[in-house]
Each structure stands twice: as C-alpha cells, then as structure tokens.
C-alpha cells in the first residue's frame, strides 16, 4: 500500500496567489498597507456586510468580538460543544463563563430550544457555530436573541460561501467571524475577519487589533502628528499586507473552491446513502452548504464496527480521516476551571462516539474521491 495519503483538508495555492504575495514583498508595506483595506472590502462585498475587520487569526477575531460586546467577569455566553476550542476560549479570555448548550442530533448545530433553556440573568450573548459549513437555525436564534436582548454572534469559520434562506453567512447576525487558516475555504496563511453592519463595532475592533490605540499610523502621517492615545487595552492582532494579498487572490477562486467541495459532497452523499452503518448529517432545505468538513456517523448497531475500527482501517488505506470535534466541555481545562464534564450535553457526547470526518478539499481528484468511497465501503 504505497498509495498517496489523502489529507482531510488542504489549502489550494496556485501561481497567481504566489505572484500576489511576491508583489507585496517588493512594495513599501509589509504590514498594514493598502491590501488590508482591499481585502476587508472584498470580503464585506462578498458576504454582503457593510464592514469587515481583518486580523491575525480567527481566534483573534473571536476575541475582538467578545471585547466589543464587553463580555466580562460574571457574564455568561452560550456556545455549543461540537466546535473548535477557540469558539469557547474567547469567552474565557474576557473572564466570562461559557455555557455549553447541546446540539441537534441530525445536524450537530446548536439547538435553539436548548439555548432558550440555558438563558439566565447573566447571559450576554450566544455564539452560534455553523458546524461543517451548514448555517445554524438563524430564524429561531434571532428571535430568541431579540426576546432576551442578547447579542447573536456567528462563528462562521466553516461557512464562508454558505447561505441561509438566500443570505450569505457573514451578513445574517450582528457579528460574524471567519478564519483564513490553510484548512479553511480560503487561506491567508493565518488570518481571520469579522463582518458586521455596525460602524461602531468595526471602529472599536480596529482599535482593539492595534493595542487599543485610537488613531492609525496612516491618519497620523496624513495629519503630520506624532500624537496618539491608547484608550483601552488591546492587542497586536494585525495581519500583514502580504497575507491580505494572498487572501484577495484566494477569494477570487472561492466560487470554484465551493463548486468543487459541493461536487465531492454530492458524490459522497450518493455513495453512502445505501451503505448500511453509515448515516449522513442532515442538510436543511433552505440552506446552501459550504462543506468545510464532510462528517458521517458510524452506527455500530448497524455495521457491527466501532468508529475506532473504521478510523484505523481508513488511515491504513492512506485516507486522512479525522474527528471533529471532541466536545469542548470534556477538555481538562474546562472540567477543572468550570466543573464541566460528561452528562452536560448528552447528544453531543453520544454523537462524538460515532462521527468521522472524511477528506474534502478543492485539490482532490475524482480518483481520490473514489478511493475514499471504496475504502469506507471495504472498512465496513
Ligand atoms: C478554525 C476555527 C477557529 C479559529 O480560527 P484560527 O484562524 O485557526 O484561529 C474558530 N472556530 C472554528 C469553528 C474554527 O473552525
């Protein structure tokens, strides 16, 4: 078995992308130059938001969001456990308390009914995670947020290009976050962005990404002044200009990337429908999925195999399967700091034992897809 290893995700970078980065390396600005604003405008225009604020990672973007909402000690923020740890960590950075709220069994997305049950006097915000690239039930979540006067945040790191009732992720709620890590839809090496329609939020997040300093260096140069004020405690969450050049170049390819991901998902869907022991996640009729991840459930009672056996068989066949995610509230940090643990989100905990992530990325060939389908069939 000397077959090429197929990773579950991988960036797709071409000559054009490389050329765009080199051009910036030859220019005057390595960091915070014209490409930053150009990238922000391109993403805002793509998702349909008024503003976008680009930062050094998706994690930094989530931190900016928690700061702009003034989350602090004593505040609770609702978050699902089936996500990357960063979705919850941002709450803890601010001294807030994450309130892990169970998911819907068929989609693994946060369950609006469960959200309503978890709201208390201390609740400040809800972070919805568009797991795998499937937008959350925003109609229900928005109603709940309005009813209880809460901010609704979308961690849309999986969902660039996804649509909910014809509206792109990034323009649906108050604040949406995307990541440009190499495994996401488009990459800037590292990077993240917040999209919003609030000018006030955008301004404050721009300040937070630059130490909390209220005027940027371009403005100071224009005004011919050395004076600036630091008005809150911020961070250096700036992104470089050459990363933004890569992001701009990648964004042009996003429609093709999405087509390819959707094409692979369609082949998987069709092939797995009849495989006994494999259950697909549900896709709501009114959404357009972005397929950052392709996740299936291995039903032991139907195929007689444990997820671990299927996982090992596929790895042995050179298929880079993975598991997304270990429920966040089961990690030692959360257990120790917040007393979370098994029993808190039973649906997430049970489904976690069954899920497996199969390779999906724009660089996969038709033959690669066939290999995954065949290997999964044989492993059963
Ligand atoms: C990737 C990801 C993040 C963090 O993004 P980084 O750019 O890696 O910091 C946050 N939330 C989710 C759901 C992610 O998948």
Residue range 182-207: mean pLDDT, rounded: 98
Give the 3-state secondary structure of residue 155: strand
For ligand 1, say whether the CB of 192 is within 6 Å of any of its atoms: yes
Task: With a cut of 80, say whether residue 219 has pLDDT above it.
Answer: no
pLDDT of 115 above 80: yes
Confidence of residue 224 (pLDDT cuts 50, 70, 90): confident
Q: What is the pTM of this model?
A: 0.97
Cα–ligand 1 centroid distance for 155 (angstroms): 8
Mutation test residue for ligand 1: of 54, 59, 290, the one with most atoms within 8 Å of CB: 59
Q: Report which protein residue has its CA nearest ligand 1's atom 15.
A: 157
- Tell me the per-residue pLDDT of 29-85, one tens digit each, with 9 for 90 and over: 999 999 999 999 999 999 999 999 999 999 999 999 999 999 999 999 999 999 999
Ligand 1: atom nearest CA of 60 is: 9
Strands of 141-276 (E only): list them.
151-155, 163-164, 167-168, 175-179, 192-196
DSSP three-state, residue 124: strand
Cβ–Cβ under 8 Å, residues 44 and 229? no
Q: pLDDT, tens digit, for every residue of 270-289?
A: 999 989 999 999 999 999 99
Which whole number is the average pLDDT over 296-303? Answer: 95
Mean pLDDT of the chain: 96
- Asked whether residue 217 carries a pLDDT value surpassing 80, the answer given is no
252 part of the active site: no
Is the beta carbon of 155 within 6 A of some atom in ligand 1? yes
Catalytic residue selected from 35, 124, 184, 253: 184
What is the pLDDT at residue 215? 73
- Mind listing the pLDDT tens digit for each residue in 236-252? 999 999 999 999 999 99
The residues near 87 (Cβ < 8 Å, ≥ 6 apart) are: 62, 79, 80, 127, 129, 155, 328
CA 262 to ligand 1 centroid distance, Å: 21
Helix (H, G, I), strand (E, B) or coil at 125: strand
Q: Phi and psi dihedrals of 198, rounded to 5?
A: -95, 120
HSE toward the beta carbon, residue 212, CA cutoff 13 A: 8
The pLDDT, as a whole number, for residue 204 is 97
Strand 287-288 versus strand 163-164 pairing type: antiparallel
- Whether omega before 249 lies within 30 degrees of 0, making that bond cis, reads no
């Amino acid at each position: 078995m000397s077959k090429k290893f197929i990773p579950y995700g991988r960036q797709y970078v071409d000559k054009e992308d490389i050329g765009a980065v080199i051009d910036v390396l030859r220019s005057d600005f390595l960091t915070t130059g014209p490409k930053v604003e150009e990238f922000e405008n391109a993403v805002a225009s793509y998702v349909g938001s008024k503003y976008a604020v680009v930062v050094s990672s998706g994690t930094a973007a989530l931190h900016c969001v928690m700061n702009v909402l003034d989350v602090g000690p004593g505040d609770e923020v609702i978050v699902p456990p089936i996500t990357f740890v960063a979705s919850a960590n941002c709450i803890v950075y601010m001294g807030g308390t994450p309130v892990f709220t169970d998911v819907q069994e068929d989609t693994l997305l946060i369950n609006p009914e469960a959200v309503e049950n978890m709201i208390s006097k201390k609740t400040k915000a809800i972070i919805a995670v568009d797991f795998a690239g499937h937008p959350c039930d925003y109609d229900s979540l928005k109603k709940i947020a309005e009813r209880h006067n809460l901010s609704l945040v979308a961690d849309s790191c999986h969902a660039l290009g996804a649509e909910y009732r014809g509206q792109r992720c990034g323009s649906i709620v108050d604040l949406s976050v995307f990541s440009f890590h190499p495994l996401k839809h488009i990459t800037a090496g590292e990077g993240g962005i917040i999209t919003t329609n609030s000018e006030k939020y955008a301004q404050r997040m721009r300040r937070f990404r630059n130490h909390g300093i209220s005027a940027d260096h371009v403005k100071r140069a224009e005004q011919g002044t050395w004076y600036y004020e630091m008005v809150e405690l911020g961070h250096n969450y700036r992104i470089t200009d050459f990363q933004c050049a890569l992001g701009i170049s990648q964004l042009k390819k996003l429609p093709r990337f999405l087509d390819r991901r959707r094409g692979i998902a369609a082949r998987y869907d069709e092939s797995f429908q009849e495989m006994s022991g494999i259950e697909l996640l549900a896709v709501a009729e009114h959404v357009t999925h972005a397929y950052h991840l392709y996740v299936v459930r291995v039903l032991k009672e139907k195929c007689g195999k444990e997820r671990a056996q299927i996982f090992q068989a596929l790895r042995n066949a050179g298929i880079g399967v993975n598991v997304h995610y270990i429920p966040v509230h089961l990690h030692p940090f959360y257990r120790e700091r917040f007393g979370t643990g098994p029993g808190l989100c039973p649906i997430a905990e049970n489904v976690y034992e069954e899920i497996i992530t199969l390779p999906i990325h724009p660089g996969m060939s038709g033959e690669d897809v066939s290999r995954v389908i065949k290997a999964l069939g044989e492993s059963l």
